């Protein structure tokens, strides 16, 4: 396990803690072991050479252990290797005591330092601290008893054993409370991380809501503007259409083919303007707080969206396949907005792909008590790494200034408000299909 990975369990945290401090303590131990040459020269100058060789060997073995921590075996046997190397200085010091003055040797101080230092710096359990302390006391006792002269001063031996026992008690106590502290720290870190993750999720949700509010404010502004203009626009269109119809009814128009054709073209254009005005009214006169879950014909919503998106859909074959009954329940203006967004995105994908035969298929089919609608294009598709992000607020693959990346996010929220889910499927370079469903009116 990588030591930089955030631990998921307390055991993983203990592993990382032990690995880190074992490496640090290895370096400290090597420095102290080699620095002891000065003590050898001061107290036992006759033993400098054999003691120096022993120190080099022990330091090399500790260094080898440190090196192994970065290898597969070392990473999976950290605790075993730690037990191995912390015993090496104790065995070396016991051998030095055996070769010098036994219970009178100054080296017993090194054993007490080892007991306290290991207990403080390494995250040992109570059992490990007890075992290490007992091992240290044991090798010291054996070194004193089995030397050639044996024990010459039992009172000194007993006093120093008691002195080391005090350090052992301190080491065990530190091990117990350190373990409790580490567990409590891990629990606090886990709690803080959970709160951090929750805060990130809340910020993400707030960003999504903010994006939707911005989009709604824009739509509300457009609606307010449209409401004022539509009335002024509708009246001249209506009386112009009436004038054209009256012109077509006079004998002069019937007798002049060119005039008749011109008037019919004018009537067709005015009729188209009238349809666009009618579709825009759907947005302009939608009032906040109004009950929006009402039955409407999905077919009318689709055809309105196609007309309103007519500029983007020029030159694209739009194929609509619908069942006989397309009654659904919902917010018709919002659904038209969703359809406009899906159609304009499909048109943009087709424009990027440069297809010889650009095609958009709008298909609806019954699915239990709901009507499922899909919008599929044969455009450039969506790259796999972007497929999971298309509904994120402010995510867009368009050029800077070409879009805010809110359309699909808002559309997703609208469909979700209708009890459905807007989903996407795509093959990069081939096609993209968006699908959502709406509830049918109760029988």
Quote the pLDDT of residue 289: 45
Of residues 388 and 50, more confidence is placed in: 50
The answer to whether the CB of 43 falls within 8 A of the CB of 230 is: no
Q: How far apart are CA 154 and CA 168, in angstroms?
A: 20
Percent helix, strand, coil in the chain, to 5, is 65, 10, 25
Tokens 């502004």, residue located = 221
Which class for 338: exposed (0-12), middle (13-18), buried (19 or more C-beta within 10 A)?
A: buried
The answer to whether the CB of 103 falls within 8 A of the CB of 156 is: yes
Please report, rounded to a whole number, the percentage of residues in the chain having pLDDT higher than 70: 86
**For residue 285, pLDDT beyond 60:** no
The mean pLDDT of 288-294, rounded to a whole number, is 62
Quote the pLDDT of residue 2: 46
The mean pLDDT of 320-346, rounded to a whole number, is 90
**For residue 225, pLDDT beyond 80:** no
Quote the pLDDT of residue 402: 45
Of residues 271 and 45, more confidence is placed in: 45
Q: How far is CA 84 from the centre of its chain?
A: 41
> Between the ranges 146-150, 158-162, 260-264, 306-310, where is the mean pLDDT highest?
158-162
Instruction: Choose among 88, 131, 113: nearest CA to 167.
Output: 113
Instruction: Choose among 212, 198, 32: nearest CA to 114.
Output: 32
**For residue 404, pLDDT beyond 60:** no
The mean pLDDT of 374-398, rounded to a whole number, is 79
Q: Where are the alpha helices (DSSP H) in 6-77?
A: 10-35, 37-43, 48-68, 72-76
Of residues 92 and 11, more confidence is placed in: 92
Quote the pLDDT of residue 4: 46
**For residue 7, pLDDT beyond 70:** no
Quote the pLDDT of residue 381: 87
Q: Quick one: tokens of 420?
A: 């459905």
Is the pTM here over 0.85, yes or no? no
The mean pLDDT of 115-131, rounded to a whole number, is 85
**For residue 230, pLDDT beyond 60:** yes
The answer to whether the CB of 174 falls within 8 A of the CB of 132 is: no
The alpha carbons of the chain give a radius of gyration, in whole angstroms, of 42
Quote the pLDDT of residue 122: 84
Band of residue 396 on the pLDDT scale cut at 50, 70, 90? low
Of residues 293 and 359, more confidence is placed in: 359
Quote the pLDDT of residue 92: 95
pLDDT, one tens digit per residue, over 181-220 is: 888 888 888 888 889 988 988 888 787 677 666 656 665 5
Q: How far apart are CA 420 and CA 437, in angstroms?
A: 6
Task: Kindly write down the DSSP assignment for every residue of 200-255, as one continuous string.
Answer: HHHHHHHHHHHHHHHHHHHHHHHHHHHHHHHHHHHHHHHHHHHHHHHHHHSHHHHH
Q: How far apart are CA 31 and CA 164, in angstroms?
A: 23
Q: Quick one: tokens of 143?
A: 């070194």
- Cα–Cα distance list, 38 to 34, 79, 107 (Å): 9, 32, 13
Band of residue 400 on the pLDDT scale cut at 50, 70, 90? very low
Q: Quick one: tokens of 161?
A: 């054993």
Please report, rounded to a whole number, the percentage of residues in the chain having pLDDT higher than 90: 33
Q: How far apart are CA 246 and CA 238, in angstroms?
A: 12
The mean pLDDT of 341-365, rounded to a whole number, is 90
Quote the pLDDT of residue 34: 94
Quote the pLDDT of residue 49: 94
Cβ neighbours of residue 208 under 8 Å, at least 6 residues apart?
Answer: 392, 393, 409, 413
pLDDT, one tens digit per residue, over 47-78 is: 999 999 999 999 999 999 999 998 888 888 88
**For residue 328, pLDDT beyond 80:** yes
pLDDT, one tens digit per residue, over 23-43 is: 999 999 999 999 999 989 999
């Amino acid at each position: 396990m990588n030591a930089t990975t955030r631990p998921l369990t307390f055991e993983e945290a203990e592993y990382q803690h032990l690995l880190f401090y074992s490496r640090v303590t290895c370096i400290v131990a090597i420095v102290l072991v080699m620095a002891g040459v000065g003590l050898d020269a001061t107290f036992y100058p006759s033993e400098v050479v054999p003691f120096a060789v022993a120190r080099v060997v022990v330091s090399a073995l500790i260094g080898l252990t440190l090196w192994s921590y970065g290898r597969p075996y070392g990473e999976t046997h950290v605790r075993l290797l730690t037990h191995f190397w912390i015993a090496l200085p104790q065995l070396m010091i016991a051998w030095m005591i055996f070769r010098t003055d036994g219970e009178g040797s100054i080296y017993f101080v090194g054993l007490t330092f080892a007991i306290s230092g290991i207990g403080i710096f390494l995250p040992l359990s109570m059992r490990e601290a007890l075992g290490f302390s007992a091992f240290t006391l044991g090798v010291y006792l054996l070194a004193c008893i089995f030397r050639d002269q044996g024990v010459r001063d039992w009172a000194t031996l007993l006093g120093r054993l008691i002195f080391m026992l005090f350090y052992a008690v301190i080491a065990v106590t530190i091990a117990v409370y350190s373990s409790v502290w580490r567990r409590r720290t891990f629990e606090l870190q886990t709690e803080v991380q959970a709160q951090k993750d929750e805060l990130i999720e809340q910020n993400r949700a707030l960003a999504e809501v903010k994006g939707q509010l911005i989009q709604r404010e824009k739509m509300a502004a457009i609606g307010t503007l449209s409401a004022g203009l539509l009335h002024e626009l509708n009246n001249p269109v209506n009386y112009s259409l009436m004038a054209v119809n009256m012109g077509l009814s006079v004998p002069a128009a019937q007798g002049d083919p060119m005039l008749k054709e011109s008037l019919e073209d004018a009537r067709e254009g005015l009729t188209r303007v009238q349809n666009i005005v009618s579709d825009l009214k759907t947005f302009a006169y939608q009032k906040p707080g109004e009950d929006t879950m009402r039955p409407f014909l999905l077919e009318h919503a689709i055809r309105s969206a196609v007309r309103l998106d007519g500029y983007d859909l020029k030159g694209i074959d739009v194929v609509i396949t619908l069942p006989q009954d397309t009654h659904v329940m919902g917010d018709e203006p919002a659904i038209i907005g969703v359809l406009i967004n899906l159609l304009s995105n499909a048109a943009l994908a087709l424009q990027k792909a440069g297809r010889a035969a650009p095609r958009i298929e709008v298909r609806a089919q019954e699915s239990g008590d709901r009507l499922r609608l899909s919008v599929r294009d044969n455009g450039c598709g969506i790259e796999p790494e972007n497929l999971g992000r298309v509904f994120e607020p402010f995510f867009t693959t368009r050029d800077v200034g070409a879009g805010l990346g809110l359309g699909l996010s808002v559309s997703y929220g609208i469909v979700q408000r209708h009890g459905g889910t807007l989903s996407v499927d795509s093959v990069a370079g081939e096609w993209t299909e968006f699908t959502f469903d709406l509830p049918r009116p109760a029988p």
